[in-house]
Amino acid sequence: MEEQKNKIDEKETDEEIVYQIFDKVFKKVITLSAKAVVNLINGLFGTEYPLDSKISYNWTEFEDDRLRRILADTILTINGTHSYHMEAQMEKDNAIVFRVFDYGFQHANRMRVMDAEAGTYVLRFPQPVVIYLYYEGIVPDIYTLTLEQNNGEIMCEYKVPVVKVQDISAEELSERKMIVLLPFHILKLRQLIKKKTIGEALPELKRVINDDIIGNINRNVELGNIELEDAVKLKKYLIALRQYLSRYHKELEAMKDMTDESFMTDVDILCEKWHKRLDDKDKECQQKLDEKECQYQQELDEKQNIIEKLQQEIEQLKLQKA
């Protein structure tokens, strides 16, 4: 009995670690540069916001049934007007639509619109989406929650579309400019390892990490869809996910060198970029100092000329007085 309890506790601990790692990484990727996040919103919801749009974050905290304090929802507001609600999942959750509705309602209630004289009251829900980073089994393409009265009359249907990252190729993620989701593409390796031996899977593992993930991240830096700083952080998150997966799939340790090398290459580039900025700033400061020094010297020369002229006038006055 004790052994069975220990196994259950161990499983719950592993599930909690899985949740925390992927929850933290997801929260981090959606707080990258405005350019990267706006591209994600445009890719997920089919919008066309300019890349310099203003993003506001609406975080809500709660404690789950195991008293873990977690960030419950991710609701972003673009340009102070339109809100978007993203929920990331690692496994199928039949109750997710209720939570999304609840979080959406809480947000709408905080932003409610009232016109008592006209008798108009509006709850404007954020546009929702559930993002399955990984799942096994069957997940619907859309969740539908029906709101009805006691008499069976349907009030409305609340629909939440589903995005299944593992069903989207790295190329499509890149084309839709949802680059911040590329690190989660490594989860496809779990299926690959289950189907093949490490010897058979290794070439494909390398291709997925080198070409599909790192390659597309690099290309999007060149295309200007994300900042270099975003790329460095995305590869850092990729390393974190790989390290987690390596706990259960030792084969992935073979990927360590290529992710670390790519990360260090970007760090070198980033350092070089900042050194150049510092050098440029030093040159700019030196130029301003030189200009100021030149200006001061001109003013000093002018004052010296005035002093000499005054001295000459004094000498002339002395001669006249004599």
* Alpha-helical segments (H) within 120-211: 170-175, 188-195, 198-207
pLDDT of the residue at 136: 80
Q: Which of 279, 177, 271 is nearest to 229 (CA)?
A: 271
Taking each continuous run of H as one helix and of E as one strand, the counts in the chain are 9, 8
pLDDT of the residue at 83: 95
Decide: helix, strand or coil at residue 133.
Answer: coil
- CA distances to 139, 179, 320 from 96, rounded to whole Å, are 12, 25, 104
- The number of beta carbons lying within 10 Å of the beta carbon of residue 184 is 25
d(Cα 219, Cα 230) in Å, to the nearest integer? 12
pLDDT of the residue at 274: 56
- Phi, psi of 188, deg, nearest 5: -65, -25
CA angle 263, 268, 274 (to 5 degrees): 125
25, 241 Cβ separation under 8 angstroms:
yes
Helix (H) or strand (E) holding 129: strand 127-132
90, 134 Cβ separation under 8 angstroms:
yes
Q: What is the DSSP string of 200-250?
A: HHHHHHHHIIIIIIIIHHHHHHHTTSS-HHHHHHHHHHHHHHHHHHHHH-G
- CA distances to 130, 310, 314 from 319, rounded to whole Å, are 98, 14, 9
d(Cα 258, Cα 276) in Å, to the nearest integer? 27
110, 59 Cβ separation under 8 angstroms:
no
Per-residue pLDDT of the chain (322 residues; tens, 9 = 90+): 555 544 444 444 555 555 677 878 888 899 999 999 999 999 999 999 999 999 999 876 544 444 444 444 689 999 999 999 999 888 888 889 999 999 899 889 988 888 767 778 889 999 999 999 888 888 999 999 999 999 989 999 999 999 999 899 999 999 999 999 999 988 877 766 666 555 666 777 778 888 889 899 999 999 999 998 899 889 888 888 877 776 655 555 555 555 555 544 555 555 556 556 666 776 777 787 778 878 888 888 888 888 888 888 787 877 777 6
**What are the structure tokens assigned to 73, written together?**
């929802």
**What are the structure tokens assigned to 200, written together?**
């058979």
**What are the structure tokens assigned to 64, written together?**
């789950």
- Phi, psi of 236, deg, nearest 5: -65, -40
| Residue 181, amino acid | L
Q: What is the DSSP letter of 88?
A: E
pLDDT of the residue at 242: 77
